[in-house]
Amino acid sequence: MEGPGAFLAQLVDRKVLVRLKDARTLEGKLLGYDEHLNLVMDETVEENGESGRRLGRVVVRGNNVLALNAPQGSGPVA
């Protein structure tokens, strides 16, 4: 088995959707990650129910991530 690190390596510099344990959703470009699966994202937008806001560059603790998804066909972000 390759593990989550191999999956995340394929997603660096791509647009990803991250669902957090508190039901918020973050969408942005994955810049990097570490061995604890903490994520660094850029151009991040937070969706919380019906409202949303721009956050810019964020660090997301790995233990707060419920799911991570790369939308179909989301190539490198320009």
Other Cβ atoms closer than 10 A to 8: 18
Question: What Cα–Cα distance (Å) separates residue 43 from each residue in 4, 9, 33, 36, 77?
Answer: 23, 19, 16, 22, 10
Q: Can you give the pTM of this predicted structure? A: 0.85
Residue 1 has a pLDDT of 47
Tokens at 34, concatenated: 């570490």
Q: Write out pLDDT tens, residues 12-65.
A: 999 999 999 999 999 999 999 999 999 999 999 999 878 889 999 999 999 999
Q: Indicate whether 75 pLDDT > 60.
A: no
Q: Indicate whether 67 pLDDT > 50.
A: yes
Cα separation, 62 vs 77, whole angstroms: 23
Residue 74 has a pLDDT of 54
**Mean pLDDT taken over the chain:** 89
Domain ranges of the chain: 4-69
| Domain 4-69 CATH assignment equals 2.30.30.100 | yes
Higher pLDDT, 77 or 69: 69
